Chain A
Amino acid sequence: MSDSTSNIISTILSGLGTTVYATVGGIALTIVLALIAGLAMLSRSRTVRFVSRVYVEGFRGTSEVVQLFWLFFVLPALVGFKLVPLFAGIIVLGLNHGAYGAEIVRGAVQSVPRAQREGAVALSFSPAQRMFRVILPQAVVEMLPPFNNLFIQLMKSTALLYFISAGEITEKGELLRPVYGSQLVLIYGVELLCYLAIAVVITMIMRALERVLARRLGREPPKRERAWARAGAPG
């Protein structure tokens, strides 16, 4: 392997850590926000429903890139301090995908058969027990496939951190481009492979979770499929 080749590969791989941090951090924030906002949209209180609607439609309606620019360049002018790029990235990724995830949570909770709710009422479970012991465990299994798509979506969005110089894969590649102009195939090839690998890992984890949770509910675990054969969500 020539010097430039190994240099290119090691430089791009040096951004892999940031991409993974951003992905994992974004996913964690997404899960929390999606659950809160998703359940809030089903609340009996009009105000709670309204607030979560505003959050969901606000973040789904404005562009993710614009949100990133706003948080990173406007917020400092408003509040007087600048967020660390990676941190700002995680917040935007989480807020944006949390809004999409909220709809997944809402839909999954609503898809749990009525009889399950009625059964829990008949057993005189408290509303909290009803939600956490009966409804959610079943709804979570429904959520996993759409969340898989959403997480891959989020992983792809980490490339946008290029705009705020967070030092992830895409930025590393773009720093290399002026220097190694003749080796663009290698640069972009390595980048694509990194993202593909993360996508496959995410799908594998989600599939495993799906099997475990389905079994715990006493359901037939889903059939094994190729790790990256999935229905796509918009980029």
Chain B
Amino acid sequence: MNWNWDYFWESVPLLLEGLLVTLELTVLGSAVAYVLGLVFALVRRARIPVLSQLMYLFIEVVRSTPLLIQVFIVFYLLWPALGITPSAFVTGVIALGIHYATYTSEVYRAGIEAVPKGQWEAARALSLPRGRVWTGIILPQAVPRVVPALGNYMISMFKETPLLISIGVLDVLNRAKGQGAETFQVIEPYTLAGILFLLISYPSSILVRRLERRVGQL
């Protein structure tokens, strides 16, 4: 074993830059997943013939197949088909966002179903317009309950971003790889990458657990 502390500390600034990219991917990807997931959930709930069933099929296929292939599909198949060339970073955000939207849509669905029936009936009794029912009554009750679950998915996404190395996104892992390739010393940068992930995701998961306990008391 030939561990070199100097080299380890030397790698820190470079990997921190990569960590910033990873965090950006996570935050933007989650934003896409949170919005798109709600749209998916509402489309499925709307019971529009064909469209709702297609939505269901799409969700199940995306959820049961590897994210890595979905990244390849967006990058090599979808963009050329649309005739556009977004960067690898944008591809990452979109692919992560769509993949996780299929999970968050289920979370929203459960949250919406947890809203007591009486709330729907009361809204109907007041003859509120449909949009008002959703934005004024149902969603304000459904969303706070699902916040911890959404937080958990953000943490999962954070830990999955390194697979975007496959299309060249310069995240933590890719910086570590680059550093290792330059010096032929891979132990320190890869270990540091692991430590950085742990430093972010462990405290976050404790926070989410605390949030869960608080929401459980709602």
Contact = CB atoms under 8 A, between A and B. Distances in A.
Interface stretch (A40-48, A130-138, A156-164): A156-164
A222 interface: no
B69 A188 contact: yes
Contacts of B157: 234
Contacts of B194: 62-63, 66-67, 70
A159 B69 contact: yes
Given A170-B68, A188-B69, A73 B190 contact: yes
B187 A74 contact: yes
A61 B205 contact: yes
A196 B173 contact: no
Interface residues of A, number: 44
Interface in B38-79: 60-61, 63-69, 72-73, 76-77
Contact of A235 (B63, B73, B166): B63
Interface string A220-235: 0000000011011111
Contacts of B1: 78
Contact of B186 (A74, A156, A160, A188): A74
Give the interface residue-count category, chain B. 35 or more
A131 B73 CA distance: 48
B73 A188 contact: yes
A235 B63 CA distance: 7
Which of B102, B158, B163, B176 is the most central at the interface, judged by chain A CB atoms within 10 Å of its CB? Answer: B163
Nearest to B160: A235
A185 B195 CA distance: 39
A108 interface: no
A147 to B, nearest CB: 16
B145 interface: no
A200 to B, nearest CB: 8
Contacts, number: 136
Given A77-B186, A232-B106, A65 B99 contact: no
B87 interface: no
Given A65-B162, A234-B153, A160 B68 contact: yes
B141 interface: no
A65 B1 CA distance: 23
Given A70-B191, A74-B186, A78-B1, A64 B159 contact: yes
A58 interface: yes
Given A63-B159, A232-B102, A185 B186 contact: no
A74 B165 contact: no
Given A66-B162, A78-B1, A177-B76, A61 B66 contact: no
B156 interface: yes
Interface of A: 57-58, 60-67, 69-70, 73-74, 77-78, 152, 156-160, 162-163, 170, 173-174, 177, 184-185, 188, 191-192, 195-196, 199-200, 228-229, 231-235
* Nearest 5 interchain pairs by C-beta: A234-B156, A159-B66, A65-B162, A199-B64, A63-B159
